[in-house]
Structure 1
Amino acid sequence: MKHIKKIMLIFLSLIMFFSLSACQLDNDKDVQKEFDTFIQNEFIKTMESDYTSSHILLINPKDYGVDVKKIKVTLGEYINDEQIQKDKKELVNTLKTLKSFKRSDLTDEQKDTYDIFSFEYKIYNQLNDERFDDYQQLFESMTGIHYQLPTMLADWQLRNEQDVKDLIILVNDVKPYMDAALEYTKKQEEKGLLMVDIDSIIDYCQQIIKSGKRSAVLQSMNTSIDELNLERSQSIDYKKQLEEAFVQSFIPAYQDIINVMKAFPSGKNNTEGYAKFKYGKEYYELLLQKNCGSTKSVLQIQNMMKAAYNNHVARLQEIVSENPDIINQKEPQTKYQNYSQILNDIQKNLFNDFPEVKNIAYQIQDVNEELASSSGVAAYFNIPALDSKEKKQLRVNPKSANISSISTYQTVAHEGFPGHMYQYAYMYENQTTPYRKALANSNAYVEGYAVYSQYYANKYLKDVNQTYLEMLKENEMATYCIIILADIGIHYEGWSFNKFKDFLKVSGLDYGNEKTFKKQYLQLQANPATFEPYYVGCEEFLALKRKAQKKLGNKFKDIDFHKAILKSGNAPFSVIEKNVNEYIQSTK
């Protein structure tokens, strides 16, 4: 989010021989051109200031106007007071530039871009209010920087020899980058603003470095060097340098995290929610809006999820009432023996229900077993570079318990087809600007759509009882409604562990033992608003679908609805809803 100088638009008062409408048209075109330049410059500045993003997203940066000489090889800007204040100023200046454009002068597509950009930057600007200084938690147990870094490095793509040299620099940057993050975290603790699951962080970091030089992260990076087929002497030399960087930077950085977390005094860490901080409720509401892609208040989201819970429970009761023996049935298995079979079968039906895309070729690769074990992830989709012509990559856990389970099928549908893999293929082919393809950032659109997709894909399981699948879906959705309501309870209403436990029991989610209740409470407490993009996002899509079905009756078609929601790309729900409304109006 880098600053771009304010564009001064000069309006001429001389009409000369042109009609008023012609002058207005020319002015509109000038504004539209300036707006495109502004958005493109934002993309360029982000790429030039962020090596990791530019490397992951661009194979040929020059083709996008990015000056590679300006890109410094680092993990990112170090987190400190000076950098935080600098970022705040740049964000304010960027918003001023955006507001200099008159939205009504833009094309329809540009209006969507304007709305997406405006939503994101306004939320970030509000989160940057000085009241919330030091509220951001960097070491969340599910999504913190310590958790993301090993997988990012293990998956790091090496395209040429220079990339190997840059990777060594990157690994050497781990310790100073993490030290800056720890200094920020120590300052939080001193101010009484620390809110992390200390034991979980320590356990994860110990697991990551316990193998030392035999670490799965280092092994994976070495494998990437091997795949370049460099001269043997070069390959050996680079691996030696990489190992040295790993031993002197990566491992000490994770040991530093362990040491700092162990050194925090007992009682200084907030083991409840944001509601315990002075401005915590206000901060959480903004975080919730950001993660839900919506300007809805906490109360509105809470009421939406309560209504959704009641609907799912009612449907669940209806299914069981009509099929009393179903609840005692053994969960059915699918016919699949490997991940490719799942994707290939879904792909055969995909374009009957979703708009076509040209490039959905894929490959499946195993996640390193050690990393898979430490992260607990069953599968994930690697976001491809914008200019990549390579196959889409799905990474899977080789230790996944049961390929034939319904759970595995839904995970593959979520990450693959018709979920993320298809979603990004469609977005890359149909969005026109690099910003909309790569930097627009609505987790609720991305993850909400993928959850919607994993359940939609149940219809392709022809050999499995569809009523049973419907029961599973309604039960899971009701469960996650409870989880999200509990998240709001902890971080907005200040629930204690006992109140949380009582709520779950009353709602029908009884884990049966104290340890499991505590584990769930700590997961929500240390990862505020993390589940909302998935399940609030899905409920938003389901609500839009019900609306379209009600308005259109027998004119409603799944493929047309899917095209309407995919048209928006990575956008807040105000933009998605607008496009769905346009689809409804054009179809009536």
Structure 2
Amino acid sequence: MNSSVLRKRFCLLSLCTLLASLLLLTIYELRPLNRTSYRNSLYRQMLASTSFSDYTNKLFQYEITQDSITTAYHLRHPKRYGIPSLPATLSSFSANEYKQQNINNNSTSIDALFDKLTTFSPQSATTSEQINYSLLANHLSLSSSLSKYPYYEYLLGSSTGVQTNLPVTLCEYPLPDSSAVETYLQLLEQIPNYFQEIIAYDKQRSAQGLTAPAFLTAASKEQLATFLSSLRQDKNCFTETFHERLMQLDHISASTRSRYEARNQSAIKNSILPAYETLYCYLTQDTGNLSSTDSSGSDTSQTNNLIESSTPYGLSTFPSGKEYYSLLVQQSTGSNRPVSELISMTDTALQNALGTVLNIALTDQTAYLYYCDHPLETYYESPEAILEALSLMIRKDYPVLSDSPHYTVKQVPDSLAASLSPAFYMIPAIDDYNNNTIYVNPLYTNEENGNLFTTLAHEGFPGHLYQTVYFNATNPSPIRQILDYPGYVEGWATYVEMNIFPYLDYPLEGDSLCKLYQSDTIINLALCSRIDLGVNYEGWTLDDTRHFFEEQGFQDYYAENVYSYVVEAPSNYLSYFIGYLEIEDLKTAYRNLKMEKYSDQNFHKQLLDLGPANFETIRKHILSD
């Protein structure tokens, strides 16, 4: 056989082999990867990393792929970050990899990651990498400490629980294409199993002696009853928002859109509604006959009456509860100060604000009487007008954004309004950070719109929206996007809210009204924060809380509501108030350092450039010169 024939046969064989390989590769790529296997592989790769950048990139991929919602909310284009298509998955409460034991070295997974981190030398790294190293070390160390307290977190609160936040999260789930729609519909079908895991978690929590108080369970049951009533309507938050998002998909046909609508309706009827009914029945078993609320939405219960006024309910009543609360406070605030010092800071801030109000009441009675009779006012008629005005007003004191972000203001669905805050900002994907959404709750707006003005300063400009867009525009390392520092984020938003009062026009001359309305906001946050610290660290009862209100010169009308909330969501208020106090303290130190060279804009730029971090790291880098 001549050589030309051999070459032809060899080429033919090579071509067939190549085609077969390509076919197998295509089939493999089309087949969804197993999420758990993929993340286990990433974990092993992290431990084998030879550089800090490779380690942090793998950790980012690992964290961002824990479930479909986390991926979709953080990234519009996951493949650009080396993340493949993964099966639709809700987060799991039955198998948290970070808290599992590592059989090979008999230590927790977090500890193994921390040990690996310490093999990298930060001294030879860039300033940015040194900051990332410090923050990651802090994050892993604190996570390791908190992991020793499984089941201490309550997942079913009426204000902060999974069942309350899930509808908003799903109703804003991005649907840029048909693949995302398919994932979304599959997630809806998984909600029954998801809630079963939450129920199993709650049962295990009770088995360990950490049962939620009856007043919390009753409040959650009441919230569920209201939501179930709306869910049974033809138009609800799941139908309306899904339809709106589908209409934005121009590339799908009308028949495909109708098919998706039908599948969504089916998921509501056969998955979401039964899941919420199951959760309601579970809580009914827990509360027994303590509440006469039924799942049709009628409510005659007085959940706060279930609080035994002389019984403590906070975290201090748990085994090692004060130690756990101290760690939780550190995580929530980013402050490394002991709780005793935070109590002192809060007391001082409260007394200073009360002193300001008293002083004005004695020296400017006209302003004080006006403040007592009138809510905060502004002449802007819509949230959009307020945000537009704020974006222009702040330019003197805050750095100008490189690009003007796009934002949409939406109204909280009626079915969720009673259990959600006055407004909230939906954090955008890191690769699409110029598209932003703010929700406004109609239950908290009035004709004067003054409170809406300060609320939108908190949520929009120069608060959350502005800070998020600013930091993302600095092109930070992806690892910074998964390190959560609510003390910085909420502290910044509270700080700018407190400092926005001078931007308003007041009907009286002088700055008395400005100081009064500003002090009023500080007092409210300080009171709630002090009660949080008292209930969860010092073991305050409801009687103690009432006494505290009276000591400060207030009626105790809201004592039960505040008490119930800080038991449900310990340390949440502190993210706002302690974060705010830390920034004010940092501002004073920076002003003393810079003296005549100080300016508000430069201070704000320093804080914004560094981005979300704990305050020890912030102090080190901002006050270093």
- TM-score w.r.t. the length of structure 1 is 0.88
Aligned-residue offset at 1:398: 4.6
Question: Structure 1 residues 145, 318: closer, same or farther in 2, change over 3 A?
Answer: same
Aligned-residue offset at 1:442: 0.3
Pairing of 1:313-352 with structure 2 (within 5 A)? 313-329=354-370, 330-331=373-374, 332-352=376-396
Pairing of 1:236-315 with structure 2 (within 5 A)? 236-264=258-286, 272-315=313-356
Pairing of 1:336-485 with structure 2 (within 5 A)? 336-388=380-432, 391-398=435-442, 400-402=444-446, 404-436=448-480, 438-463=481-506, 466-485=511-530
CA-to-partner distance for each residue in 1:499-539, whole Å, 9 max, x for gaps?
1111121123323x4xx322221111111111110111011
Unaligned runs of 5+ in 2: 1-38, 291-305
Pairing of 1:545-584 with structure 2 (within 5 A)? 545-582=587-624
Aligned to 2:115: 96
Question: Structure 1 residues 372, 137: closer, same or farther in 2, change over 3 A?
Answer: closer
Question: Structure 1 residues 328, 285: closer, same or farther in 2, change over 3 A?
Answer: same
Give me the whole-angstrom Cα distance separating, in 1, the residues matched to 2:224 and 2:205: 20
2:550 paired with 1:500: no
CA-to-partner distance for each residue in 1:233-273, whole Å, 9 max, x for gaps?
11111111122112222112211221111212679999711
Give me the whole-angstrom Cα distance separating, in 1, the residues matched to 2:353 and 2:367: 17
Aligned-residue offset at 1:551: 3.3
2:241 paired with 1:224: no
**SS of aligned partner of 1:210:** helix
Give me the whole-angstrom Cα distance separating, in 1, the residues matched to 2:559 and 2:527: 13
**SS of aligned partner of 1:134:** coil
Aligned to 1:25: none
Give me the whole-angstrom Cα distance separating, in 1, the residues matched to 2:43 and 2:355: 51
Which structure has the larger Rg?
Answer: 2
Unaligned runs of 5+ in 1: 10-30
2:133 paired with 1:114: yes
CA RMSD, Structure 1 to Structure 2 (Å):
2.5
Question: Structure 1 residues 48, 521: closer, same or farther in 2, change over 3 A?
Answer: closer
Give percent identity, aligned residues only. Answer: 22
Give me the whole-angstrom Cα distance separating, in 1, the residues matched to 2:498 and 2:143: 32
Aligned-residue offset at 1:460: 2.1
Give me the whole-angstrom Cα distance separating, in 2, the residues matched to 1:265 and 1:341: 46
Give me the whole-angstrom Cα distance separating, in 1, the residues matched to 2:517 and 2:336: 31
CA-to-partner distance for each residue in 1:85-117, whole Å, 9 max, x for gaps?
259832222111112122323221111111211
Paired residue type of 1:76:
S
Paired residue type of 1:77:
S
Aligned to 2:536: 491
CA-to-partner distance for each residue in 1:206-240, whole Å, 9 max, x for gaps?
12221314322232123212321421211111111
Aligned-residue offset at 1:491: 1.1
**Stretch moving more, 278-287 or 350-359:** 350-359
**Stretch moving more, 439-448 or 77-86:** 77-86
Give me the whole-angstrom Cα distance separating, in 1, the residues matched to 2:393 and 2:132: 32
| Aligned partners of 1:153 and 1:221 also within 8 Å | no
Question: Structure 1 residues 517, 453: closer, same or farther in 2, change over 3 A?
Answer: same
Aligned to 2:35: none
**SS of aligned partner of 1:394:** strand
Question: Structure 1 residues 475, 177: closer, same or farther in 2, change over 3 A?
Answer: same
2:179 paired with 1:136: no
- TM-score w.r.t. the length of structure 2 is 0.83
